[in-house]
Amino acid sequence: MHDSRQRPIHVAINAHLLSGDPSYRSAGVHQYIYHLLTYLPQAGCRVTAFLGPRSGEFPPALRAVRTRWPTHRPAARILWEQLAQGRALQAAGADLAHGPVFVGPLVAPCPVVVTVHDLSFLRYPYLFRPANRFYLRLFTRLSVRRARRVIAVSAHTAEETVRLLGIAREKIRVVYHGVDPIFRPLSAEEVAAFRARQGLPDRFVLFVGTLEPRKNLVRLVEAFARSGADADTALVLAGARGWYDDEIFATVERRGLSSRVHFPGYVPNDELPFWYNAARAFAYPSLYEGFGLPVLEAQACGTPVLTSSVSALPEAAGDGALLVDPNDVEAIADGLHRMLTDETLRETLRQRGLEHAARFSWPRTAADTVAVYQEAVGGRP
C-alpha cells in the first residue's frame, strides 16, 4: 500500500493522444492531457508520460518515454495500449497508470485510473464511424470495470457512467476541467488589430469545435439564416473538419450563405482568446457534451454565450449563458437574435460568465486528480 507521506505518487500517463497536428485530434482531449502533464508535478505528483513518435510537445517537468510503435495510427495505438503498456509500466516502476481518454490497460502491474469524458458513442452511436464506435464501446466498458477509480469530467457524465456502463457510483469521482489563464478579456486595440489581420467583420457569431454531427452545426446554420441578423453579421465556424460534415457545407450553399459563413479551419490554442474576444456572441448548441470547455473559455474572455439546455452544458455554463433546446431551430434562432440585439442581456451574461469561469482552473483540476490517485493507490479495489 502506498504511503503518500513517504514520497510522491509516481503516475504513468498514456499521452499518445497528445497531438501537435492542426486537426480535430488537437481539440478537447489533447488540451486535457497537456494541462494534466503541465500541472500534476506542481500538485506533488511524479509523472512519466508515455508518448508516440509523433506526439506533440510536452511540458519539461516530467519524464517522457517514447515508443517506436506508430501510435499515430489507431490500430497501432490500441495494440500498444493493451500489449505493450503493461511492460512499459513495469519498466517505469509506476505506482499507478492513468488512461486519460476512456481506455486503460486491461492487464497492468499497478492500479489503474481512467477518465471518461462523455458517453456519446452510446447515446448517439450513429454519429460515429463504425470502427471508432466499436473500439470505444468495448474498451471503455472493460476499462472502467477494471479501473480502481474512474474520473468523470462532470456530474452528468458520472451519472451516465453509472446508468449506461453499470459502474458503482462510489468508484467515480467528478473532476472538472480548468480554464487556461490565456482566456481573458483583451483590450479593444488588441481585438481590433486581430480582426483587421484576419479580415473579420465587425459583427460575427462564433462557434469553436470539431466539425462533426454531435456539434449540431446544420441546425446552427439554419438558425442563423432565420435569426434576422443583418447582412453585415457573419457566422464563423472555427475548427478542424471531423467526420460526416458534408451536410454542414451543403446547408450553407442551400441557404445562400457562402459569403456570410466562414470556415477558418483549426485554430491554435494561443490564437483562440482573440477569436472569442472578437466575437459578438459565442454559440455552442451541441447535442451532447461530457463537459463543454469552449463555453467556459468564451465566458472567461467576457463573450456572451448561447448553449444547449441538455447534457452537461448547463453544468459547464452555470448561470452565465442563454440556454436553448438544441433540437429546436426556432429556439436557437430566437436565442441568436436576442444575443445580437439585447444589450442588457449581453451585459448580464458577460458579467455572470466571467464570475462563473473564474471558479475553474487547471491547478485545481490537477490537485483534485492527485486526490483520486491517492485513493486509487491507498484505497481498496
8-state DSSP, 125: G
- Per-residue pLDDT of 277-310, as tens digits, reads 999 999 999 999 999 999 999 999 999 999 999 9
Name the H helices within 147-283.
155-165, 188-198, 217-226, 246-254, 272-278
Phi/psi zone of residue 244: left (φ > 0), alpha (ψ -120 to 50 degrees), beta?
left
Predicted confidence band of residue 29 (pLDDT cuts 50, 70, 90): confident
Write down the pLDDT at residue 301: 98
C-alpha cell of residue 47 = 509523472
Average pLDDT over residues 138-142: 96
* Over residues 44-57, mean pLDDT: 87
- Residue 22, pLDDT > 80, answer no
> In which band, very low, low, confident or very high, does the pLDDT at 31 lie, cut at 50, 70 and 90?
confident
Give DSSP secondary structure letters for 158-180.
Answer: HHHHHHHH---GGGEEE------
Mean predicted confidence (pLDDT) in 298-326: 97
Residue 61's pLDDT is what? Answer: 61
Q: Is the pLDDT of residue 381 over 90?
A: no
The per-residue pLDDT of the chain, averaged, comes to: 92
So what's the pLDDT on residue 23? 43
Question: How far is it, in rounded angstroms, from Cα 274 to Cα 247?
Answer: 28
For β-strands 112-116 and 149-152, DSSP reports them as parallel
| pLDDT number for residue 380 | 42
Other Cβ atoms within 10 Å of 244 Cβ, number:
14
Total residues found in the chain within this entry: 381
Q: Which CATH superfamily is domain 188-357 in?
A: Glycogen Phosphorylase B; (3.40.50.2000)
Q: How far is CA 164 from CA 29, 103, 221, 224, in A?
A: 21, 16, 32, 35
String of b and e for 136-152 (b: at least 16 CB within 10 Å)?
A: bbebbbebbebbbbbbb
Q: Read off the pLDDT of residues 194-222 as tens digits, 9 standing for 90 and up.
A: 999 999 999 999 999 999 999 999 999 99
- Given a contact cutoff of 8 angstroms between Cβ atoms, the answer to whether 71 and 52 are in contact is yes
Q: Average pLDDT, stretch 242-259?
A: 91
Whether domain 10-178+361-378 has CATH 3.40.50.2000: yes
The answer to whether residues 101 and 17 touch, using CB atoms and an 8 Å cutoff, is: yes
Given this model, what pLDDT does residue 186 score? 98
Q: What percentage of residues in the chain have a pLDDT greater than 70?
A: 94
Please name the helix (run of DSSP H) or strand (run of DSSP E) that holds residue 309, with its range, or none: none
Residue 111's SS3 state is coil
pLDDT class of 54 with cuts at 50, 70, 90? confident
Kindly tell me if the per-residue pLDDT of 1 is higher than 60. Answer: no
Q: Which of 320, 376, 374 is nearest to 348 (CA)?
A: 320
pLDDT at 27: 57
Positions of CATH 3.40.50.2000 in the chain: 10-178+361-378, 188-357
Collapse the DSSP code of 285 into the 3-class scheme (helix H, G, I; strand E, B; otherwise coil) and give the result: coil
Q: How much of the chain, in percent, has pLDDT values that exceed 90?
A: 80
Q: Which residue has the cell 481518454?
A: 101
Please state the rounded mean pLDDT for residues 15-35. 72
